[in-house]
Each structure stands twice: as structure tokens, then as C-alpha cells.
């Protein structure tokens, strides 16, 4: 990864891929000692989960 320009702060992104997820740790000089962690899942799985939720709501409400 390289900065967009020399004027931007340099950050750090580290990632670890699992079977069904991607874990990212993001840090930079403006938040020294503090790192943000993200856990990302494939969009296809989220879409299936959303559809399952919609179907259960429809069943519960009798639509």
C-alpha cells in the first residue's frame, strides 16, 4: 500500500483471512496506541442471512 500523496499520514493495515471472513487491523499516527479492528464477511452470506430474516419476519407477521 502506498499513500495517495506525500501530504497524507501514513497508516497501517494488517489483515488475516479465514475460511469465511477477513479480519483487518487499521492504525495510524493520528491514533497512536489505538487500533481499529474490523471483521468482514462475504456479501453473499450477508444477503442469504438477510433473506432468511425477512422470511422469518413474514412468517411471524402472517404475510
Model confidence pLDDT, tens digit, residues 50-63: 888 888 888 888 86
Residue 57 inside a domain? The answer is yes
Does 5 map to a domain? Answer: no
Supply the range of the domain harboring residue 17.
12-61
- The answer as to whether 22 is a domain residue is yes
* Overall domain count for the chain: 1
State the Cα–Cα distance between residues 6 and 50, nearest whole angstrom. Answer: 42
Low-confidence ranges of the chain (pLDDT < 50): none
Q: What is the pLDDT of residue 59?
A: 87
pLDDT of residue 53: 86
Is residue 36, in this structure, part of any structural domain at all? yes
Q: Is the pTM of this model over 0.95?
A: no
- Is 7 within a domain? no
Q: Is residue 1 part of a domain?
A: no
Q: Give the span between the Cα atoms of 18 and 41, in whole angstroms.
A: 10
Tell me, yes or no, whether 28 lies in a domain.
Answer: yes
Q: What is the pLDDT of residue 19?
A: 81
The mean predicted confidence, pLDDT, of the chain is 76
Amino acid at each position: 500500500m502506498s499513500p495517495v500523496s506525500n501530504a497524507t499520514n501514513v497508516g497501517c493495515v494488517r489483515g488475516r483471512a479465514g475460511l469465511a471472513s477477513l479480519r483487518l487491523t487499521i492504525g495510524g499516527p493520528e491514533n497512536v496506541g489505538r487500533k481499529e479492528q474490523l471483521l468482514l464477511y462475504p456479501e453473499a452470506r450477508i444477503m442469504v442471512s438477510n433473506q432468511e430474516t425477512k422470511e422469518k419476519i413474514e412468517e411471524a407477521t402472517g404475510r
